Structure 1
């Protein structure tokens, strides 16, 4: 079995240079040197001893990603980008599905500590729950994804960064696009159960309809999930809610969906009800998942810069693991509009 000295000899470099690669210290290394070392590892079937690394450094070269449900395409896309960003830094990602259940979140945190993981990305969860606060006190570094920085950050030992798309601007942008295309009877379609990101999207939506004098009661239409927050049911919830929307009088001519999976379900349900998209009802989703350009009509969506966000989260998490004294920061990314065929022409 090959060892680090075999890799160094094969690549024509020193053992310390190979060690720098294994420990992610490649900033000052020439690209050709790094590529040669990585090729030597592959040729010799060399696998670094993760246990030995953990004993030496006190933590594993792994980070955690906690999501409500990987079934939700938005979180699946997030997991992919986080994994790619971590691999570039020679880190692995351990993913936990928690379904927003406290006991699952607590178990995930315990597992991370037992595996020597000292940094996690917490996606779309209430980061101010006691078990997250306690984990931070015990030395777990955290980045809060899709949620703003908590009010008590830095107090009582609770330090973390937050990375999010500007969800208020996302809701605002979706509503503005529908109004610009001539829609005047708008609704916001979502799932019952409020999270910070959902509240911010609705806030942006309502600010625009009020600004244009289009506000009325009942503009927020909710579908009731079987499980809390509906993370695993988005498409079906959208399809079911379409039946309710199709019975409204007057019929809305523009819908902002809480996310693309929900929007795709809405389009399917409206089609089944004999309602044409976009001629009768235009729809804008939020998240821009890959399926949105494959359905017919293609779903117009508000897109987060997910790759850039993942890069920042992973880099910031590793920096904080190496230097826990770093002051926490909030990173708010602007969304962009991706136009397809689900919104009528002006």
Structure 2
């Protein structure tokens, strides 16, 4: 069975060069050298001993991704981008944990990561301030918090985790402003009632924009309560149910921002079943820009996060801090963009 020295001898390079390839440190390597090493590995049918590497370093070449539920298409899209960034850019695998925002499930997943030698995790949680996250960090688990930013762009010595987020206030602002620009004068933000940081910030941006346009008394937040906490797996059904609530309102909105695209899709289906036309009677804007948004009728206008860039940053920061623990945690805030489709009435129509 070939070993790393055999590969180095066949490729005409040092053992350390082969080690650099195995550990994803190829950014300073000449392309011809990399190709020779990869060809030698194929020719010799060489496969690195990952168990031996873990014993040597105390770490597995893996990172964790903790999400509330993969059923939610926005979290599925995030998982895909994180997996691509980790695998293609760094040679890391991703272990996925569905935790449904339950503290015991989150804690169990963190413990499982540690026991398998995984020392880095991207966390999507309703509250990164929970004590079990701090305890895991103190035990040596490096974390990046997704979509929970409070300020953005700052670096402090006291932060335990990097934070990577879309500017959620700006997302709410962009959606509200587009409805107003297209002539909507009774607007509403429709959401599940449980609050996360990101949900609160979207609502804040929406209400601030309404007030700035003289629509403070013509804007409202319409909430529905899911059966399970935060409603991550129930958004389409909740949107369909809330359509009935909206259709019965005395002051019915003619423009709606939905907390995410899945709720917006359920809402549009519910409104259609009640004979309410979208966008002729009510315009709808979603947030997240999931792939289904362009396939429904009418195709959904949505606020899009730069998901690939955010995933690349999270993985890069995680691996950088794993290799250089003295680097201080930072916050990274990404600007969303509006993807215009057909679910909002055009101003002059």
TM-score (norm 2): 0.93
Q: How far apart are the structure 1 equivalents of 2:238 and 2:167? A: 25
1:302–1:338 Cα contact (<8 Å) kept: yes
Distance change (3 Å), C-alpha of 1:218 and 1:205: closer
Secondary structure (helix, strand or coil) at the match of 1:219 reads strand
Q: CA deviation at 1:247?
A: 1.4
CA distance in 2, matches of 1:212, 1:175: 10
Q: Matched residues in 2 for 1:32 and 1:183: separation?
A: 59
Note the C-alpha offset of 1:3: 3.4
- What is the SS of the residue equivalent to 2:216? coil
- Give yes or no for the alignment of 1:89 onto 2:97: no
**Equivalent residue number for residue 53 of structure 2:** 53
Aligned to 2:239: 238
Separation in structure 2 between the aligned mates of residue 291 and residue 58 of structure 1, nearest angstrom: 42
Partners of 2:169 and 2:206 within 8 A in 1: yes
Name the structure 1 match of 2:113.
112
CA distance in 2, matches of 1:140, 1:11: 37
Shift of 1:152: 12
Relative to structure 1, is the Cα distance of residues 173 and 217 closer, same or farther in structure 2, using a 3 angstrom cutoff?
closer
Q: Is the contact between residue 149 and residue 161 of structure 1 (CA under 8 Å) also seen in structure 2?
A: no
Separation in 1, partners of 2:132, 2:194? 21
What is residue 75 of structure 1 aligned with on the other side? 75
CA distance in 1, matches of 2:304, 2:43: 40
May I ask how many residue pairs the two structures share in their alignment?
344
- Cα contact 1:153–1:160 (8 A) shared by 2: no
Q: Is 1:173–1:337's contact at 8 Å kept on the other side of the alignment?
A: yes
Q: Deviations for 1:20-77, whole angstroms, at most 9, x for unmatched residues?
A: 1111211101234334544554565543221111111121111111011111111111
Measured against aligned partners, the alpha-carbon deviations of 1:189-234 in whole angstroms (never above 9, x if no partner) come to: 1001000000000000000111112123871111211110001111
- Within-5 A mapping of 1:333-344: 333-344=334-345
How far 1:4 sits from its partner (Å)? 2.9
Q: Alpha-carbon deviations, 1:300-335, whole Å to 9, x = none?
A: 010111111111110000010011110111100111
Which whole-Å CA distance do the structure 1 matches of 2:10 and 2:269 have between them? Answer: 57
1:159 shift after superposition: 1.6
Contact 1:69 1:99 in 2 (8 A): yes
Q: How far apart in 1 are the matches of 2:63 and 2:205?
A: 33
- Contact 2:163–2:332 (Cα < 8 Å) also in 1: yes
Partner of 2:28: 28
3-state SS of 1:341 partner: coil
Q: Which residue of 1 aligns with 2:204?
A: 203
Q: Distance in 2 between matches of 1:184 and 1:226?
A: 32
Which range is displaced more, 78-87 or 6-15?
Answer: 6-15
Retained in 2: the 8 A contact 1:64–1:95?
A: yes
**How far is the alpha carbon of 1:278 from its aligned partner?**
0.6
CA-atom RMSD, angstroms? 2.0
8 Å CA contact retained: 2:155, 2:330: no
Partner of 2:183: 182
Distance change (3 Å), C-alpha of 1:242 and 1:38: farther
Q: What does residue 139 of structure 2 align with?
A: 138
How far apart, CA to CA, are the structure 2 residues paired with 1:273 and 1:344?
19
Matched-pair contact (CA < 8 Å) for 2:150–2:197: no
Equivalent residues in 2 for 1:267-286 (5 A)?
Answer: 267-286=268-287
2:269 aligned counterpart, secondary structure: helix
- Secondary structure class of the residue paired with 2:195: coil
Task: State the secondary structure of the residue aligned to 1:143.
Answer: strand
Partner of 2:63: 63
Q: Deviations over 1:95-141 (max 9, x none)?
A: 11100000000000100100111111111431100000111111111
What is the distance in 1 between the residues matched to 2:261 and 2:30?
42
Are residues 16 and 152 of structure 1, via their aligned partners in 2, closer, same or farther at CA, if it must alter by over 3 Å? closer
Gaps (5+ residues) in structure 1?
none
Change (3 A) 1:328 1:283: same
- Residues 155 and 329 of structure 2 are in contact (CA less than 8 Å); yes or no, is this contact kept in structure 1? no
